[in-house]
């Protein structure tokens, strides 16, 4: 039996993050202000610290990981790389399947990879409090953990319906010392406005973002923190791919295909970008973003300038979008419901340097269960997406007889998502394909630029 886990010593935690901008054929598109002109970096200073704004704009290939961040990374990093040997046997495929497992972090997902440096840079800038929004709670718990590590106050605006229906992520955040409020609250102008119109509002991610940003912008000691989409977030996540490359190197392997779930893009960028560096240098490797058919941003959206939030408060970003007023249908991969996508991921996709595929919900859970029964680990619904795509690739290999090497990012475990599995088993879930007509209608409502 081949080696199951490829481990690295904690001295091998990357000393630098990889910035994909340095290897992109074209410079990234700038974020635009309401006037259609590129917004100056200092405009972001009200909610982000200087160091993160610099990273957001940087073209440097390698950006050093501060030692205090590496020290916290050591609590769970380097994360293990697994050979899915038992899954290969079940499939009867000649393909070799590897997965990088990010569920070993105390928060259970890859999110702390960026939460920790974000908290640290803010603390270094004299900031004492961070606000953020969270839906099901994965990002909020990562930031709660990170804040606790550097003695910072974390305030999480949690979408009310999740706050009430998913109390366990909330308890997790509180265990790490964060304040968690059901959004809309009466503590912000944004929240009060919503409540005045609808006192029974169940909240939404868009409203929670507005509350978090409003508070951060109005207090000098407080900044705002975002868990995906932005360049610096994807930058921090490249520790995943950098470690995976080193781990595969140790056993003399290199992937033919790299797969990851793609919502805002941090999961995909985290594992795929370090391999893009090789691709840019001429190496053959396919990088595939996997999204749900119910929220097919890359595969069905349009590449255009759009708002990052639902209400239109953020700068305009050029990205694949389903329209900022896209209403996500009730799918259970909460982390993949975003209407847009990382501008960096979008640009690479637009330039046909990376690929994308959409997978339906039932087949995705089917793959997750198959994986759990072969490999033990129960994947988070988001992570079931690349599992599905990896199985599909492996089955193509079975047909063709090719012994390809497949790598995917198992970005988190499903311990807080068992209710979704329950619904899958009891037949309460269904497939949903976001209708082309709805996409077309949303496109009519894209903001005009300039």
Tell me which residues touch a copy of itself (CB under 8 A): 1, 3-5, 7, 9-10, 71, 74-76, 82, 86, 104-108, 145, 148-149, 167-169, 171-172, 174-177, 369, 372-373, 375-378, 415-416, 418-419, 421-422, 425
Task: Specify the residue, 49 or 381, whose C-beta has the smaller distance to a copy of itself.
Answer: 381
User: Which of 28, 47, 105, 447 minimizes the C-alpha distance to 267?
Assistant: 105
Nearest distance, CB of residue 173 and a copy of itself, angstroms: 10
Which two tokens mark 30? 């700038």
For a copy of itself, give the closer residue by CB, 311 or 369: 369
Q: What is the nearest approach in angstroms of a copy of itself to the Cβ of residue 424?
A: 9
Q: How far is the CB of 280 from a copy of itself (least distance, A)?
A: 33
Report the residue number, 40 or 64, with the smaller CB distance to a copy of itself. 64
Cβ 109 to a copy of itself shortest distance, Å: 12
Helices (H), 156-260: 160-165, 167-175, 189-197, 205-218, 231-237, 239-250
Q: Which is nearer to a copy of itself, 83 or 324 (CB)?
A: 83
Shortest separation between residue 139's beta carbon and a copy of itself, angstroms: 16
Q: Which distant-in-sequence residues (6+ apart) come within 8 Å of 138 by Cβ?
A: 107, 108, 109, 111, 169, 227, 334, 335, 380, 412, 416
Nearer to a copy of itself among residue 4 and residue 400 (C-beta): 4
Alpha-carbon gap, residue 275 to 108, rounded angstroms: 24
Inter-CA distances, 15 with 11, 69, 196, 236, 271, Å: 9, 10, 50, 11, 16
Characterize 236-268 residue by residue with b for buried, 16 or more Cβ atoms within 10 angstroms of its Cβ, and e for exposed.
bbbbbbbbbbbbbeeeebebbbbbbbbbbbbbb
Nearer to a copy of itself, 117 or 308 (CB): 117
DSSP state letter for 122: H
Structure tokens at 373: 């029964």
Q: How far is the CB of 225 from a copy of itself (least distance, A)?
A: 18
In the chain, what is the greatest distance between 2 CA atoms, to the nearest angstrom? 64
State which residue, 125 or 372, has the beta carbon closest to a copy of itself: 372
Whole-angstrom Cα distance, residue 380 to residue 386?
A: 11
CB of 86 to a copy of itself, least distance (A): 8
CA distance 274 to 44: 27
């Amino acid at each position: 039996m081949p080696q199951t886990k490829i481990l690295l010593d904690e001295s091998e935690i990357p000393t630098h993050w990889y910035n994909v901008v340095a290897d992109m054929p074209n410079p990234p598109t700038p974020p635009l202000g309401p006037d259609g002109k590129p917004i100056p970096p200092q405009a972001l200073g009200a909610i982000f610290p200087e160091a993160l704004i610099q990273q957001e704009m940087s073209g440097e290939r390698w950006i050093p990981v501060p030692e205090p961040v590496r020290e916290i990374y050591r609590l769970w990093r380097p994360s293990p790389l697994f050979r899915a040997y038992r899954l290969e046997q079940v499939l009867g495929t000649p393909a070799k399947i590897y997965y990088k497992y990010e569920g070993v972090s105390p928060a259970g997902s890859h999110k702390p990879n960026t939460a920790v440096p974000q908290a640290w840079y803010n603390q270094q800038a004299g900031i004492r409090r961070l606000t953020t929004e969270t839906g099901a709670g994965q990002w909020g718990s990562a930031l709660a953990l990170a804040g606790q590590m550097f003695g910072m106050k974390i305030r999480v605006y949690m979408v009310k319906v999740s706050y009430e229906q998913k109390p366990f992520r909330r308890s997790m955040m509180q265990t790490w010392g964060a304040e968690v409020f059901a959004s809309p609250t009466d503590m912000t102008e944004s929240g009060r406005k919503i409540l005045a119109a609808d006192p029974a509002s169940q909240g939404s991610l868009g409203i929670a973002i507005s509350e978090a940003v409003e508070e951060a912008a109005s207090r000098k000691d407080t900044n705002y923190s975002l868990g995906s989409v932005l360049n610096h977030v994807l930058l921090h996540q490249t520790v995943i791919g950098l470690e995976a490359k080193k781990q595969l190197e140790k056993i003399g392997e290199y992937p033919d295909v790299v797969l990851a779930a793609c919502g805002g893009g941090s999961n995909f960028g985290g594992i795929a970008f370090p391999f893009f560096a090789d691709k840019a240098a001429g190496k053959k490797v396919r990088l595939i973003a996997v999204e749900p058919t119910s929220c097919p941003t890359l595969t069905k959206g349009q590449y255009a300038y759009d708002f990052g939030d639902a209400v239109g408060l953020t700068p305009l970003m050029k990205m694949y979008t389903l329209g900022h007023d896209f209403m996500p249908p009730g799918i259970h991969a909460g982390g993949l419901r975003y209407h847009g996508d990382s501008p960096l991921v979008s640009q690479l996709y637009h330039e046909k340097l990376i690929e994308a595929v959409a997978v339906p919900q039932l087949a995705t859970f089917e793959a997750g269960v198959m994986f759990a029964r072969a490999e033990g680990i129960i994947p988070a619904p988001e992570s079931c997406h690349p599992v599905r795509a990896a199985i599909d690739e492996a089955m193509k290999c079975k047909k063709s007889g090719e012994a390809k090497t497949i790598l995917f990012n198992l970005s988190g475990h499903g311990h807080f998502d068992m209710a979704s599995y329950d619904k899958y088993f009891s037949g309460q879930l269904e497939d949903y394909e976001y209708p082309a007509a709805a996409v077309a209608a949303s496109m009519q409502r894209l903001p005009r630029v300039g």
